[in-house]
Chains A and B, each alone.
Chain A
Amino acid sequence: MDDLTRLTAADLAQKLSASEVSSEEATRAHLERIASVDPDVHAFLHVASERAIETAKAVDARRASGETLGPLAGVPVAIKDVLCTQDMPSTSGSKILEGWVPPYDATVVRKLREAELIPLGKTNMDEFAMGSSTEHSAFGPTHNPWDLERIPGGSGGGSAAAVAAFEAPLALGSDTGGSIRQPAAVTGSVGVKPTYGGVSRYGAIALASSLDQVGPVTRSVLDAGLLHDVIGGHDPRDSTSIDHEWPSMADAARAGLRDNALKGLRVGVVKEIAGDGEGFQAGVKQRFDETVRLLTAAGAEVVEVSAPSFEYAVAAYYLILPAEASSNLARFDSVRFGMRVNPVSGPVTSERVMAATRDAGFGAEVKRRIILGTYALSAGYYDAYYGSAQKVRTLIQRDFAAAFEQADVLISPAAPTTAFKIGEKVNDPLAMYLNDITTIPANLAGVPGLALPVGLAPEDGLPVGVQLMAPAHEDARLYTVGAALEQLLEAGWGHPLLQSAPSLAQSEMFASEEGAV
Chain B
Amino acid sequence: MPDISAEQVRHLADLARIDLSDDELTSLTAELAQIVDSVAKVSEVATPDVPATSHPIPMTNVFRDDAVVPGLSVEQALSGAPEREGDFFRVAPILGEEA
Residues of A with C-beta under 8 A to B95: 349
Closest residue of A by beta carbon distance from B41: A315
Residues of B with C-beta under 8 A to A339: 82
Q: In the complex, which residues 326-368 of chain A have their Cβ closer than 8 Å to any Cβ of chain B?
A: 326, 330, 333-340, 342-343, 347-356, 358-359, 362, 364, 367-368
Instruction: Given A197-B57, A391-B45, A391-B50, decide whether A370 and B16 contact each other with a Cβ distance below 8 A.
Output: yes
A104 to B75, alpha carbons, bound, how many Å?
A: 12
- Whole-angstrom distance between the Cβ of A506 and the nearest chain B Cβ: 39
Judged by a CB distance under 8 angstroms, whether B26 is at the interface is no
Establish whether residues A368 and B17, one from each chain, have CB atoms under 8 Å apart when the complex forms.
Answer: no
Instruction: Given A350-B94, A367-B28, A385-B42, decide whether A359 and B20 contact each other with a Cβ distance below 8 A.
Output: yes
Q: In the complex, which residues 19-69 of chain B have their Cβ closer than 8 Å to any Cβ of chain A?
A: 19-21, 24, 28, 31-32, 34-36, 38-47, 50-57, 59, 62, 64
Residues of A with C-beta under 8 A to B18: 355, 358-359, 362, 367, 370-371
Q: In which size bucket is the chain B interface?
A: 35 or more
Picked from A333, A394, A429, A446, the residue with its CB within 8 Å of the CB of B50 is A394
Closest residue of B by beta carbon distance from A447: B56
Q: In the complex, which residues 298-321 of chain A have their Cβ closer than 8 Å to any Cβ of chain B?
A: 309, 312, 315-316, 318-319
Establish whether residues B94 and A429, one from each chain, have CB atoms under 8 Å apart when the complex forms.
Answer: no
A444 to B41, alpha carbons, bound, how many Å?
A: 17
Q: In the complex, which residues 77-99 of chain B have their Cβ closer than 8 Å to any Cβ of chain A?
A: 77, 79-83, 89, 91-96, 99
Report A385-397 CB contacts with B as 1/0, cut-off 8 Å: 1011111111101
A258 to B12, alpha carbons, bound, how many Å?
A: 57
- Whole-angstrom distance between the Cβ of B1 and the nearest chain A Cβ: 13
Establish whether residues B99 and A348, one from each chain, have CB atoms under 8 Å apart when the complex forms.
Answer: yes
A312 to B46, alpha carbons, bound, how many Å?
A: 10
Residues of B with C-beta under 8 A to A472: 56-57
Main secondary structure of the interface of B (DSSP, over half): loop
Residues of A with C-beta under 8 A to B36: 372, 375, 385
A446 to B56, alpha carbons, bound, how many Å?
A: 5
Judged by a CB distance under 8 angstroms, whether A384 is at the interface is yes
Judged by a CB distance under 8 angstroms, whether A236 is at the interface is yes
Residues of B with C-beta under 8 A to A211: 56
- Whole-angstrom distance between the Cβ of A469 and the nearest chain B Cβ: 13
Establish whether residues B42 and A371, one from each chain, have CB atoms under 8 Å apart when the complex forms.
Answer: no
- Whole-angstrom distance between the Cβ of B69 and the nearest chain A Cβ: 9
Instruction: Given A103-B79, A378-B12, decide whether A351 and B17 contact each other with a Cβ distance below 8 A.
Output: yes
- Give the interface centre of B14, B64, B82, B96 by most chain A CB atoms within 10 Å: B82
- Whole-angstrom distance between the Cβ of A84 and the nearest chain B Cβ: 11
Picked from B19, B31, B99, the residue with its CB within 8 Å of the CB of A368 is B31
Establish whether residues A309 and B38, one from each chain, have CB atoms under 8 Å apart when the complex forms.
Answer: no
Residues of B with C-beta under 8 A to A353: 91-92
- Give the interface centre of B38, B56, B76 by most chain A CB atoms within 10 Å: B56
Establish whether residues A391 and B52, one from each chain, have CB atoms under 8 Å apart when the complex forms.
Answer: yes
Picked from A347, A371, A388, A391, the residue with its CB within 8 Å of the CB of B16 is A371
Residues of B with C-beta under 8 A to A355: 14, 17-19
A472 to B96, alpha carbons, bound, how many Å?
A: 51
A349 to B19, alpha carbons, bound, how many Å?
A: 14
Residues of A with C-beta under 8 A to B39: 315-316, 318-319, 385, 389
Judged by a CB distance under 8 angstroms, whether A210 is at the interface is yes
Establish whether residues B34 and A374, one from each chain, have CB atoms under 8 Å apart when the complex forms.
Answer: no
Apart from A312-B44, A374-B12, A445-B56, what 13 extra A-B contacts exist at CB < 8 Å? A101-B79, A210-B55, A239-B59, A239-B62, A335-B91, A349-B94, A367-B13, A371-B12, A374-B15, A385-B40, A397-B53, A443-B56, A446-B56
Q: Top 4 nearest A-B pairs by Cβ distance?
A: A446-B56, A337-B80, A347-B99, A388-B46
6 contacts between A and B (CB under 8 A): A359-B20, A372-B35, A372-B36, A391-B46, A397-B56, A430-B38
